[in-house]
Amino acid sequence: MNMKIYIKKGRPFSLMLLLLIGFLAGSVMSSCEDDSDSTGDSPKIEYVRVTDPLASDSLVVRAFLGNTIAMVGEGLGDVVEVWFNDQSAKLNKNYITDETIIVTIPNVIPEEVTNQIRLVTAGGTEYTYGFEVQVPEPLLSSMKCEYVPAGGVAIIEGNYFLGDENKPLEVIFPGNVAAEVESYDVDEIRVIVPEGVGVGPITVKSMYGSTRSSFYFRDDRNVFLDFDQTFGAGWRNGVTQGTSPDGVSGDYLALTGTIGDWGWVEDNLAMNLWAPYISNPLQQDPLFDLGDNALADMALKFEVNVVNPWAVGYLQCIFTGSDVADGNSYYNDMELGRALWRPWHENGEEFQTDGWITVSIPMKEFRFSHDASINSLSLEYPGDFGGFTFFVFGPAMDPDLEQDIFIAIDNVRVVPR
């Protein structure tokens, strides 16, 4: 009998049920009626298959960490432990029958590689089956800060950052410039930014493959506020400076002021960019170009340095239409969706950064009212994207708390996620 052998990456968890319905309908029903459907035989795996109903003839002899697979055999109903190398998998009894176990391979790199699946029954019987667990190529999720000067340390966050003496971990910056890796572990790389790098994706090469980032280093796409060439325009253009602390790329917006619970400190803690006031040819209406992307595929990004401890007010990020100007009633308009950056609220403690970081807010998060009591609002492109406002406004972690706020912001942009 000829069998196809494929290596496939993980499939959505919901496909497990489809496999059970199509492949083990009778067994599932009996399992629901009787938790002990095992024959008591020693377990045996005949083959392993993917959980995609559209690839029902795809059998596998290897799979990646985090993949979900179906082990097919006999005497499996008594199995209480499944090990991949030296890592134990979590089992769900609803996905165990006498003929099948559906299980997700632990997303942990093994210390001892046996290239075996080991089954253990309630009675202590063990059975092993040859199966290779593969480590994926590097996963690049983000950079702590996307703007880092030459000679500075950039921090890349993700997973599967692995190397050895024969194939060391490499980081390649835009312009095909190799960087010196200062240190790394499986989910973080600290790398010294070399001279002469350009704008664009970063590539990480590990002993298991190579990956190019979806994010850009020193991203200059769709920047509509950089506070060097593009500024606020309206009643409050924003206070800018470049030192104390040093900027991440030139001058930045400095939101400063003493504020308490629902305090209104508009002069120092707000910046307006109103479409009717825009005269800079670098700022257009709408403020950014979608290209071939859907709005849901985009994110607002900016660099931020929270200089002082912060636990009062939300950073309200508000896009406005071309007709909004000469007023501030939209700040608390309950029907105008905006994003609320409020890390102190989410963490339950004062928030402060150790230098500059990059903040990324998916466009789907522009759904809140100013007080977060409504979270189902939305914006439409292009009509709702002619202007933009930052305003620190909202509750305090403690109603009696008053703080001296200092939030520095730079490189405001909307880019693909």
Please check whether residue 68 is in contact with residue 102, taking contact to mean a CB–CB distance below 8 angstroms.
yes
Q: In 7-125, which ranges are E strands?
A: 44-50, 58-59, 62-64, 68-74, 79-84, 87-88, 100-104, 116-121
Of residues 9, 126, 82, the one with CA closest to residue 92: 82
Q: Is 348 exposed, middle or buried (0-12, 13-18, 19+ CB in 10 A)?
A: exposed
Q: If you average pLDDT over every residue of the chain, what do you get? A: 91
Which tens digit of pLDDT belongs to each residue from 396-409?
999 999 999 999 99
DSSP state of 167: S
Tokens standing for residue 316: 């309200």
Tokens standing for residue 129: 């089956």
- CA 51 distance to own-chain centroid: 25
Please check whether residue 278 is in contact with residue 374, taking contact to mean a CB–CB distance below 8 angstroms.
no
Of residues 170, 207, 163, 167, the one with CA closest to residue 185: 163
Which tens digit of pLDDT belongs to each residue from 341-395?
999 999 999 999 999 999 999 999 999 999 999 999 999 999 999 999 999 999 9
Other beta carbons within 10 angstroms of residue 283's beta carbon come to 22
pLDDT in the model for residue 174: 97
- The per-type count for the chain, helices as H runs and strands as E runs, is 3, 29
Q: How far apart are CA 287 and CA 176, in angstroms?
A: 31
pLDDT in the model for residue 40: 56
Other beta carbons within 10 angstroms of residue 316's beta carbon come to 22
pLDDT in the model for residue 36: 41
Which tens digit of pLDDT belongs to each residue from 79-120?
999 999 999 999 999 999 999 999 999 999 999 999 999 999
CA dihedral 95, 115, 89, 137 (to 10 degrees): -100
Tokens standing for residue 143: 């950079």
Q: How far apart are CA 20 and CA 393, in angstroms?
A: 51
Please check whether residue 227 is in contact with residue 408, taking contact to mean a CB–CB distance below 8 angstroms.
no
pLDDT in the model for residue 32: 39
Of residues 66, 44, 2, 54, the one with CA closest to residue 23: 54
pLDDT tens-digit profile, the chain (417 residues): 333 333 333 333 344 444 444 444 334 333 433 444 445 579 999 999 998 877 656 899 999 999 999 999 999 999 999 999 999 999 999 999 999 999 999 999 999 999 999 999 999 999 999 999 999 999 999 999 999 999 999 999 999 999 999 999 999 999 999 999 999 999 999 999 999 999 999 999 999 999 999 999 999 999 999 999 999 999 999 999 999 999 999 999 999 999 999 999 999 999 999 999 999 999 999 999 999 999 999 999 999 999 999 999 999 999 999 999 999 999 999 999 999 999 999 999 999 999 999 999 999 999 999 999 999 999 999 999 999 999 999 999 999 999 999 999 999 999 999
Domains of the chain: 4-134 (2.60.40.10), 139-212 (2.60.40.10), 223-416 (2.60.120.430)
